[in-house]
Structure 1
C-alpha cells in the first residue's frame, strides 16, 4: 500500500477582508466541537450575534498580522510541509480544518498520487475536542463518503514526548538568550471548562475549575489521555524541568475566550496584568498549544499582551515564536513520519 502524509492545521480566512473573515468564522464557530451547545442555540449565538458584530473587529486584527505572502499560519504551515517533503519519500500534503484548504482536498491530492494509506498528523501537541477531535472526526466522515478504500491512521498527541519537549525547550532557550526576563508565562489557548468534563472518559476524574489544575490534573488517570488541561500543565512542568527553571519564575495561563461560560483559568490577559502590577518589569511568553504562529500568537499575545503589560508598568515583553519551520522541529516530524512508514512497510 502506497503511503502518504497529511498535515492538518487550524485554518485561516482567504484574506483579511471582513467578508472572508465572516465566512471563516461562520464555519469555525458553527463546529459543534468548538461551540458545543444545541444547534438552535449555536445558530442563534453565531449567526444571530457573533457574525453580525465580530467579523469587522477580527478582520482588523488579521490585517495587523497579514503577510505579503498571505496568512502567516498558512505560509508557515506550507514552509513546514515543504521542508518535511525534502526529508521523506512519501508524498506530504497540507490541509486545514477550516477554510478553503479543506481536508477533502488534501486527501484527494494524496489519492491522486496513488496513496492508499494516510498518516494524518494534527498539528496540535495536546488533545482537545476543538482541535484534534474535530479533525479526526471530520477526516473519518470524509473518508467514508469519498474515499472508502483509503486507510487513515493518526499521530497521537505528543505533548509529553521527550523528543518534542527537547525541541520545544531548546527553541525557548535559544530565543531567550541575551534577553532579560523575570517570569516566563506559558500561555495555552483556552477552552470552556465543560469541554474538559466532556472529554473525561472516566466521567468522574476531572474538575477543571480547581485552582492550578487541582489534584485531578496531577493524579494519574486514564482521563489524562484526553484531558487538555492536564496535557497543557504537563508541557509546562516538563519544559520547566528541562530548562531547570526555578519555582515561581514561570506559570501557566489560558488565552482567548468567548461567551459567559467559565473557561480554563487563569486567563492570560489578567495574568499579564497581574504580573505587571506585582512589579515584574521583564517577562517572556510562549504559546505551546500552537506549533505555527497565527492570529492568537501574533496579535492577541505579541500586540495586545504587550500593550497590557506596558499599561501596568511593565518594561520588556518578549514573545517567543512557535516552532514554525524550525529545523529541529522539521527533523523530529520527519523522523516520526519515516518511522511510521518503515513500520507499516514491514506489517503491510
Structure 2
C-alpha cells in the first residue's frame, strides 16, 4: 500500500478583494461545526447579516497583513510543506479546509501520485470541533464520494507531546531571551462554551469552571479544547522554567453574543495595562502559522489596546511557521507512522 500525508490548515481568501473575502467567509461561517446552530438560523445570521456587513471590514484587515506573495497563512504553510517534503520519503501534500486550496484537490494530488493510504495531519495542536473535527468529517465525505479506494489514518491532537512542547517552548524562549518583560500571555483562539460541552464524551462531567482541566486521567480531555490549551501553557511554562504569576492563558477572536471561553484576550491586555504591566509579551500557541488572528488582531489591535491603557512595550512572538525544527518534527511523525505500519504488518 502506497502512503502519503496531507497537511491541512484553515485557509484564506484568494485576495483582499471584498468579493473574495465574502466568498471565503461564506464557506467558513456556514460550516455547521463553526457556527453550530440550526441551518435556518445560521443562514439568517451569515447570509442575512454577516456577509452584508463584514467582508469590507475583514478585507481591510487582510490588506494590512497581506504579503507580496499572498496570504501569510498560505505562504507559510507552503514553505512548511516544502521543507517537510524534503525531509520525507513519501508524498506530502497541502490543503486548506476552506478556500480554493481544497481538501479534494489535496487528496487528488496524492491519488495522482499513486497513494492509497493517506495520513491527515491537521496543523492544529489542540482538538476543536471547529477545526480538527470539521476536517475529519469533510475528509470522510470526500472519500465516500470520490476516493473510495483510499484508507485514511488520522493524527491525534499533539498539544501534549514532549517533542512538540520542546520545539514550541524553544521557539518562544528564543524570542524571550534577553527580553525584559513583566508578563507573558498565552493567547489561544476562542470557541463558544457550548463547543466544549458538545465535545464532552462524558456527557456532562465538564463543569466549565476550569478545575476539571487540570484533573489527571479524565477521559474527556482527549476532546476538550480548553484542557488542551491550559496544558499547553503549563507544559511550555514548565519547560522554560517560568515563575508562577509571570504568565497566564487567555482566549481571542470571539464572535457573536454567546459566552465564549474566558478570560478574553483583549480584556486581559486592557486589564493588565491598567494594573501597571508595562512590558508584555504574547504567544499564540493555537496557531502554527501566523495569520490574520496573530498579525492583525494581536500584533496590531492588541498592541494598540495595550498602549492606550498605559502599556509601553508589546512583543508578539511568531508562530512556529516554517521553522526547520518544526518541519523536522513533522517529518519525524511521518516516519513514526511508517514504522508503526511496517511493524504492524510484520506482526
Please say whether Structure 1 and Structure 2 have the same fold, judged by a TM-score greater than 0.5: yes
C-alpha separation in 2, matches of 1:115 and 1:331: 22
Count matched residues.
344
What residue in structure 1 maps to residue 327 of structure 2?
330
C-alpha separation in 2, matches of 1:218 and 1:324: 29
- Asked if residue 245 in structure 1 is aligned to residue 245 in structure 2, the reply is no
What residue in structure 1 maps to residue 276 of structure 2?
279
C-alpha separation in 1, matches of 2:311 and 2:221: 36
Structure 1, unpaired ranges of 5+: none
- Asked if residue 217 in structure 1 is aligned to residue 213 in structure 2, the reply is yes
What residue in structure 2 maps to residue 257 of structure 1?
254
What residue in structure 2 maps to residue 162 of structure 1?
162
Aligned counterpart for 1:316 among listed residues 313, 317, 335: 313
Report the Cα offset of residue 346 of structure 1. Answer: 3.8
C-alpha separation in 1, matches of 2:242 and 2:178: 16
- Asked if residue 343 in structure 1 is aligned to residue 340 in structure 2, the reply is yes
Corresponding residue SS for 2:75: helix
The 10-residue stretch of structure 1 (70-79 or 173-182) with the greater mean CA deviation from structure 2: 173-182
C-alpha separation in 2, matches of 1:325 and 1:303: 22
After superposition, what is the alpha-carbon deviation per residue over 1:83-132, rounded to whole angstroms, capped at 9, x for unaligned? Answer: 00110010110000000000000000000000000011000000000000
C-alpha separation in 1, matches of 2:207 and 2:297: 28
What residue in structure 1 maps to residue 133 of structure 2?
133
Corresponding residue SS for 1:16: coil
What residue in structure 2 maps to residue 84 of structure 1?
84
The 10-residue stretch of structure 1 (326-335 or 71-80) with the greater mean CA deviation from structure 2: 326-335
What residue in structure 1 maps to residue 46 of structure 2?
46
What residue in structure 2 maps to residue 11 of structure 1?
11
What residue in structure 2 maps to residue 190 of structure 1?
190
Structure 2, unpaired ranges of 5+: none
Corresponding residue SS for 2:306: helix
Report the Cα offset of residue 184 of structure 1. Answer: 0.2
Report the Cα offset of residue 28 of structure 1. Answer: 0.2
After superposition, what is the alpha-carbon deviation per residue over 1:117-155, rounded to whole angstroms, capped at 9, x for unaligned? Answer: 001100000000000000011001101110001001011
C-alpha separation in 1, matches of 2:82 and 2:339: 21
Q: CA RMSD in A?
A: 0.7
The correspondence of residues 114-125 of structure 1 with structure 2, limited to 5 A, is 114-125=114-125
Report the Cα offset of residue 344 of structure 1. Answer: 1.7
- What is the TM-score of this pair, normalised by structure 1? 0.98
C-alpha separation in 2, matches of 1:207 and 1:29: 27
C-alpha separation in 2, matches of 1:302 and 1:4: 36
Report the Cα offset of residue 216 of structure 1. Answer: 1.6
Structure 1's consecutive aligned runs of 4 or more residues displaced over 4 angstroms after TM superposition are none
C-alpha separation in 2, matches of 1:260 and 1:280: 29
What residue in structure 2 maps to residue 227 of structure 1?
224
What residue in structure 2 maps to residue 111 of structure 1?
111
What residue in structure 1 maps to residue 97 of structure 2?
97
C-alpha separation in 2, matches of 1:71 and 1:92: 21
Report the Cα offset of residue 173 of structure 1. Answer: 0.4
Report the Cα offset of residue 178 of structure 1. Answer: 2.0
Report the Cα offset of residue 65 of structure 1. Answer: 0.2
What residue in structure 2 maps to residue 203 of structure 1?
203
What residue in structure 2 maps to residue 64 of structure 1?
64
- Asked if residue 37 in structure 1 is aligned to residue 37 in structure 2, the reply is yes
- Asked if residue 303 in structure 1 is aligned to residue 300 in structure 2, the reply is yes
